[in-house]
Amino acid sequence: MRLFQFVVGTCVVLSSLSAYSAEPFTGEAEAGAIIVSGNNDSESYNAKAKTVYTHEKNVYSAFGRYLKTTSAGTESARNWEIGARYERELTDYLGVFVGQKAESDIFNGYIQRDSTDAGLKYYLIKSDEMNWTVEAGYRYQKTLPTAGGSTHDNMGRLYTEFNKALDKTLSFKYWAEYLPNFTETDAYLANTEASLNVMLNSVFSLKLAYLLQYQNVPPANGKYTTTTTTMNLVAKF
């Protein structure tokens, strides 16, 4: 609860600072909550943030997210992610990137998963109202399963992202990611998310998103597929 209150407070502070923020810094923070009381009390909180610094043809970004759900006083979901990424623009349409992130989802079978990425990014479409990018690269991944031990995997990474402004207040975003595993062929991963964003004013918007994550060889007590639906308040600065 305190984390959620902190994130909401951060959104308010960021919105007040947005009038003074300018290039090369941009970013956004979002948060949401669902609270049910009665025969079966439950609470769900989630928060997400990203900030980007651009200098000439270099782009530096940092990001994080957190989700926690309890039902009848018992925790039923908890996961988080934090990371950083560097991109270098080679041409108007082609660039390179490296990134590092750590994530955790104990209810899906792993205490922590660390990933190191490197690859190429290419714009298929690049305009004010529509962007479509593809990325191809390599990932080194270390996983600490809840059952103990660790795994080390060499993986590929194919990613695409499509953004479209439907009108002045409504926008659509879709991304998909496929991670073939070269160390253990069957242990590939796939993730995808679709979202709609409705602008309330120049700072705040509402975002509805549906995320699907698939792992073909889940850790012990883990599941093949995890889905997350969120409706969050977003503050951009």
- Cα angle for residues 158, 49, 27 (degrees, 5° grid): 90
Stretch among 12-16, 26-30, 37-41 having the lowest mean pLDDT? 12-16
Kindly state the percentage of the chain with pLDDT values over 70.
Answer: 89
Which of 80-89, 131-140, 223-232 shows the lowest per-residue confidence on average (mean pLDDT)?
Answer: 223-232
Q: Are 221 and 109 in contact (CB under 8 A)?
A: yes
**Confidence (pLDDT) at 4:** 46
Residue-wise pLDDT for 64-89, tens only, equals 999 999 887 788 889 999 999 999 99
Amino acid at 57: K
Q: What percent of the chain has pLDDT over 90?
A: 68
pLDDT of residue 5: 52
pLDDT band at 22 (very low <50, low <70, confident <90, very high): low
Q: With cut-offs at 50, 70 and 90, classify the pLDDT of residue 196.
A: very high
Q: Please state the domain count of the chain.
A: 1
**Is residue 228 within 8 Å of residue 45, measured between CB atoms?**
no
Going by pLDDT thresholds of 50, 70 and 90, the confidence category of residue 126 is very high
Is 6 a residue whose pLDDT tops 60?
no
Q: Which domain holds residue 33?
A: 2-236
175, 161 Cβ separation under 8 angstroms: yes
Q: For the segment 163-175, what is each residue's pLDDT rounded down to a tens digit?
A: 999 999 999 999 9
Residue 222 predicted with pLDDT over 80:
no
Sequence-separated (6 or more) residues with CB below 8 Å from residue 149 = none
Q: What is the CATH number of the domain that holds 99?
A: 2.40.160.40
Q: How far apart, in Å, are the Cα atoms of 161 and each of 107, 176, 208? A: 28, 7, 17
